[in-house]
Structure formats: structure tokens, C-alpha cells
């Protein structure tokens, strides 16, 4: 039997096996009639077939509704005048233990799978008997075959498929045999011929259903997931995430892509879960000594970590022990506990650090010029002139305070009251590279050229030495008014500008961090005067302890100073 121009009705054609069967038959030349409950699904299938050059008629309806089935066959008869093939693919699955099965769910499964098959077969049989020809194909399941192990929770599905496989199919075969018709024999060769250029089973899994969990079972899975994370059981974590993703409606293909697993592996997870439940989510420890990374592996791992998690295909920008555990397993097939990961990383020369921002606008050529020429030259000249080498900057201390890390009970994040007021205490500062001397002035107004010039005049009044001021390119440092100020005091004041976006070259930035740590971190200032007092006391502390500032200089300017020595 050739499928060319055969009128073929396919139920359940909106998705799954029905959709793939419709595509296969259309590819072989059949004129397919698509029947499904969801209009959007059946329309999508029809559009896909039409785009590939096939012919498809989309009809929406429910196989369990007799009126819909009668309307289907009437429309096909009115449109084509005959029916050659009926393929009953429509079917649904409800996963629920037998003792928890409610009558409504039972009736819905039986109505679609068994009643729907009966109604369509009956109408097709009436037409085919008059035609004296026709083929009916009913898709059953091993779930409906006696002697085959069944998955738990599929009682209604098993009964419905047994009814199709045993009773409906046998009755139709008996009756159609008397009338010279066939339920499958004539179509087998044509089906095989159609399948040759178009592999049906690469396009769709044999069983498509939505896995729904009871609240209790879902809670068990999440509890097991937390245990797996705590114990570092990476394979269990992936397995549980795969099952939970399927319950959220994701397909096997989507889950496999998301978790970097094979599709068959995901199906195996699902099948074992349907059979054994939560008890299936366990792995036995393999015998023998656990595998470790070789020297070659460790070298490769170091390069992967230095390249960053996004380069390795992870969405996160931060490495964690769990992500590195997955990285090692993916690339080297070796499993490490997260606690062992920390030891391994320490042995490889890594430590857990907070990243810092580096501006994307950095001019590396200018920065190199500063490090290798500008700074060494300026440092040498300042020593020769016995000048003060002052790093300058400004800081704002907000009344709402500032946050930082601290120790606290697990599960209880520290909370700090805040006034929410945006008022801030503004401070100009200069620190001497040689002595650690700290000059500062505080006020509540905005930073501008006038206040900047006034601060420098105070510093000149407090000193007699030449002054070299190193500062950034803020507008109130480079304005016309400031240019006039430096020109007027050129005999004593020399201005040196830092490279753009280079706070790491200015050690006073780290002094401000220490001031905030002592004065404002995790503190509540209901009144602005309380903030002023806290900041003033801390500034005075650093002004009286220049050795604390020279320690900052030694820590953050050591490499710069070494270049000029």
C-alpha cells in the first residue's frame, strides 16, 4: 500500500508521538487530518507540515467527546469523500498511587485513552465498511500487556492501554476481518517505507507526559537535595535537579542541555524514580581508593580556574567549591568533596578573595608610564628637594552609615538601623609618603574648586617645605580656578596628576576605607552630629598615629617605591 494521497486521520497530533507520526506520514505523501484538543498545538503541527510541502487539515476537538468525534469524521467525509487510514495516538497519563487515585482523574484517563479510541474506531469502521477498504492503527503500550513489569502510579493508564491492546483491538480485528478490512497489515510496509528518509524516533520519545508530585513527595525531594548539597554529592544533586525540572514542565532534551547530561541518562533517572521513588536517588560508593587528580590534571585545572567560570561555560562570574567540584568532574572524571576542594585549591596556590573593580577605560600605556617613569622621577625629585610628597583625595561619610562583614549567629543576618537621610560629611585629605603626616579638613558643603583651594592654603600655612601634590583628575582639581592657584604658588607647590581611573595608585583610598571601618561601619546615626563626632575622632586618631599611615604606604606603595630606589 502506498501512502501517496491517502486520507489519514491522526488523533493526538498536537504533540508527542501523534505529531511525529503526522510529520512522517505527510513526508511520505499522505494527506493528513490532524485532531487534537489544543487548537494552538494542532495549528502548529499543520503549519510545520505545510512549510515542508505537505498537506494537512487541522481540526480541534476532544476524542472523549462523542459530538467532537462525529463532527471530525463528517468534516473529513465532506472534504475528501473517503477515509483510508485512522491512527489513534491520543492518550494521557496521570501518575498517582492507586490508593490515592480519585474517580475524576481515573475517568479522565479512561475517557481519553479507551473511550476516545473506541469512538474513533467505531466511526472509521462505519465508513470503511461501506468503502470496503481502510486501515486502523491503535497505539497501545507495554503497560497494557500482560506479564510486563509496570511502573507504579500508572494504574489508570495501564488499564486503559490494556483495554486498547486486548479488547478493542481484538473486537475490531474480528469484525474487520469479516468485512475484508485490516487493522494494520496493509499499512506496515508503507509505514516502513515512509520511515526510511525520516527517522521518527529521533524526533520524539515514545512516552510524553507531565510528572506531578504530591506536596509530601516534593518536600522529600527538596530535603534530599539539601542533604546532597551538604554532603557534596554532585551526582545526586544533578539527578534531583533533573527530576525537579521535569516536574516543572521541562522536556528531557531541555534538562539534558541544562545539566550537561545525556538524554538517555535523564530518561533513566525518570524511569527509576517512577519505579522506586526517592529511594532511587542514591549511589553506591565504588570500591577501592578514590581517584585523585594527576599533576597534568592539576596544571590544566589551574588554567581553567584562572580563565574564570564563564569561560568554562558557567553562567556565574564567581567560583564556588560546588562549581569547581562540577568542573573537575566534567573535565577529569574525578569526584571531590567540597571540603576537599578548598584544601586542593590552597595547595594549588588559590585563596578565597573578594574581587575589585578595574575600570574598562584604563589606559595601560599611561599607567605603565606612571609606574616606570612619572612616579620614580617624582619620588626622586621630592627626596632631593626634601619636599612633602602628598597623596590627596576626598571622601564622603553618609549619615545612613555603611555595611561590612561581621560575625553573627548562623541564619540571622545582622541588621543595622538607618535614618535614611542622604546628608553626608565631606572630608579633604592629604597624606605624606615619607612621614605619614595626615592633613585634613571636614565640612558639609559640596566639593568644589574654592573649598579645594582653601584646603591647600591651610596646608601651606602649616608647613614650610616644598609640596608635591599627587591627585586624580576630578573637575575641582583641574578647573581654571585651580590652575590659577597652582600657578600662583608654583614656587612651593608642584601638581602631579594620577592616570585616569587609577585609584589603586593612590594610598589615601585605603586610609578612607580604614576610617569608614572604624567610624561608620554597622553604626546607627540618628543625628548628624553623631556622625560628625565619630568621623572627627577617627580622623584625629590617624593624624596622631602617622605610623599607621606609613604602614599603608609600605603595603600599597612598596612596588612603586622599589622602582625609584
> Which active-site residues does the annotation give?
157
Residue-by-residue DSSP string for 192-220 = HHHHTTS-GGGTS-S--------HHHHHH
Ranges 356-365, 401-410, 505-514, most confident:
505-514
pLDDT exceeds 90 at position 367? no
CA distance 542 to 276: 68
At 410 the pLDDT is 81
Q: Is there a contact between 519 and 534 (Cβ–Cβ < 8 Å)?
A: yes
Pairing outcome for strands 7-11 and 31-36: parallel
pLDDT for 177 equals: 52
pLDDT digits (tens, 9 = 90+) for 189-202: 334 433 333 333 33
Domain boundaries 364-405+416-564, corresponding CATH code: 3.30.420.10
Each residue of 16-56: pLDDT tens digit? 889 989 998 998 889 999 999 999 999 999 999 999 999 99
pLDDT in tens, 283-317: 776 666 666 888 899 999 999 999 998 898 888 88
Question: Residue 392: exposed, middle, or buried by beta-carbon count in 10 A (0-12, 13-18, 19+)?
Answer: buried
Inter-CA distances, 316 with 69, 232, 255, 442, Å? 52, 19, 19, 42
Count Cα atoms within 13 angstroms, Cβ side, for 158.
16
pLDDT of residue 461: 95
Mean pLDDT of 362-366: 78
Contact 62, 72 (CB under 8 A): no
Task: Give the angle subtended at the CA of 93 by the CAs of 41 and 111, to the nearest 5°.
Answer: 85
pLDDT of 539 higher than 50: yes
Domain parsing of the chain, residue ranges: 7-202, 215-280, 295-347, 364-405+416-564
Asked whether the beta carbons of 507 and 557 are under 8 A apart, the reply is yes
| Dist CA 193 CA 483 (whole Å) | 88
What does the pLDDT look like over 247-279, one tens digit per residue?
A: 888 888 888 888 888 888 888 888 788 777 888
pLDDT band at 174 (very low <50, low <70, confident <90, very high): low
Of 365-369, 458-462, 512-516, where does mean pLDDT reach its minimum? 365-369
Superfamily classification of domain 7-202: NAD(P)-binding Rossmann-like Domain (3.40.50.720)
Over 60: is that where the pLDDT of 207 sits?
no
Amino acid at each position: 500500500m502506498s501512502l501517496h494521497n491517502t486520507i489519514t486521520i491522526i488523533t493526538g497530533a498536537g504533540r508527542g508521538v501523534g505529531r511525529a507520526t503526522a510529520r512522517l506520514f505527510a513526508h511520505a505523501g499522505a494527506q493528513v487530518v490532524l485532531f487534537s484538543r489544543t487548537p494552538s498545538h494542532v495549528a502548529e503541527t499543520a503549519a510545520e507540515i505545510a512549510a515542508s510541502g505537505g498537506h494537512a487539515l487541522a481540526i480541534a476537538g476532544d476524542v472523549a467527546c462523542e459530538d467532537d468525534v462525529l463532527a471530525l469524521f463528517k468534516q473529513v467525509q465532506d472534504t475528501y469523500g473517503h477515509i483510508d487510514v485512522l491512527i489513534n495516538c491520543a492518550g494521557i497519563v496521570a501518575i498517582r498511587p492507586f490508593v490515592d487515585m480519585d474517580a475524576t482523574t481515573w475517568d479522565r484517563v479512561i475517557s481519553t485513552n479507551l473511550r476516545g479510541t473506541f469512538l474513533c474506531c467505531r466511526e472509521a469502521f462505519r465508513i470503511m465498511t461501506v468503502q470496503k477498504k481502510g486501515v486502523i492503527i491503535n497505539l497501545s503500550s507495554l503497560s497494557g500487556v500482560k506479564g510486563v513489569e509496570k511502573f507504579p502510579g500508572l494504574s489508570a493508564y495501564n488499564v486503559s492501554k490494556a483495554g486498547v491492546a486486548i479488547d478493542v483491538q481484538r473486537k475490531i480485528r474480528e469484525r474487520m476481518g469479516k468485512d475484508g478490512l485490516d487493522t494494520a497489515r496493509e499499512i506496515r510496509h508503507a509505514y516502513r517505507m515512509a520511515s526510511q528518509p525520516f527517522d521518527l524516533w529521533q524526533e520524539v520519545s515514545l512516552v510524553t507526559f507531565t510528572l506531578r508530585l504530591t506536596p509530601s513527595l516534593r518536600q522529600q525531594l527538596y530535603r534530599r537535595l539539601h542533604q546532597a548539597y551538604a554532603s557534596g554529592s554532585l551526582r545526586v544533586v544533578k539527578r534531583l535537579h533533573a527530576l525537579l525540572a521535569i516536574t516543572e514542565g521541562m522536556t528531557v532534551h531541555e534538562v539534558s542541555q541544562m545539566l550537561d547530561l545525556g538524554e538517555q541518562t535523564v530518561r533513566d533517572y525518570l524511569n527509576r524514580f517512577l519505579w522506586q521513588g526517592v529511594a532511587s536517588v542514591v549511589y553506591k560508593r565504588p570500591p577501592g581508593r578514590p581517584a585523585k587528580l594527576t599533576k597534568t590534571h592539576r596544571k590544566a585545572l589551574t588554567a581553567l580556574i584562572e580563565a574564570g567560570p564563564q569561560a568554562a561555560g558557567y553562567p556565574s562570574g564567581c567560583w564556588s567549591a560546588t562549581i569547581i567540584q562540577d568542573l573537575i568532574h566534567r573535565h577529569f572524571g574525578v569526584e571531590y568533596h567540597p571540603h576537599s576542594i578548598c584544601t586542593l585549591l590552597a595547595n594549588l596556590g588559590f585563596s578565597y578573595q573578594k574581587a575589585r573593580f578595574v575600570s574598562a577605560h584604563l589606559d595601560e600605556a599611561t599607567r605603565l608610564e606612571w609606574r616606570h617613569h612619572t612616579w620614580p622621577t617624582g619620588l626622586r625629585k621630592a627626596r632631593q628637594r626634601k619636599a612633602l610628597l602628598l597623596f590627596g583625595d576626598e571622601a564622603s561619610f553618609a549619615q545612613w552609615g555603611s555595611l561590612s562583614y561581621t560575625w553573627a549567629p548562623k541564619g540571622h543576618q545582622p541588621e543595622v538601623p538607618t535614618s535614611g537621610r542622604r546628608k553626608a560629611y565631606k572630608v579633604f585629605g592629604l597624606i605624606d609618603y615619607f612621614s605619614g603626616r595626615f592633613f585634613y579638613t571636614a565640612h558639609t558643603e559640596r566639593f568644589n574648586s574654592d573649598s579645594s583651594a582653601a584646603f591647600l592654603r591651610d596646608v601651606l600655612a602649616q608647613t614650610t617645605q616644598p609640596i608635591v601634590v599627587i591627585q586624580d583628575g576630578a573637575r575641582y582639581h583641574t578647573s581654571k580656578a585651580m590652575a590659577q592657584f597652582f600657578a600662583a604658588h608654583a614656587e612651593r607647590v608642584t601638581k602631579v596628576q594620577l592616570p585616569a581611573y587609577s585609584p589603586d595608585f593612590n594610598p589615601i583610598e585605603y586610609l578612607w576605607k580604614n576610617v569608614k571601618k572604624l567610624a561608620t561601619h554597622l553604626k546607627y546615626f540618628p543625628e548628624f552630629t553623631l556622625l560628625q563626632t565619630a568621623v572627627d575622632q577617627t580622623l584625629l586618631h590617624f593624624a596622631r598615629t602617622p605610623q599607621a599611615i606609613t604602614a599603608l604606604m609600605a603595603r600599597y606603595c612598596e612596588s612603586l617605591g622599589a622602582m625609584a630606589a
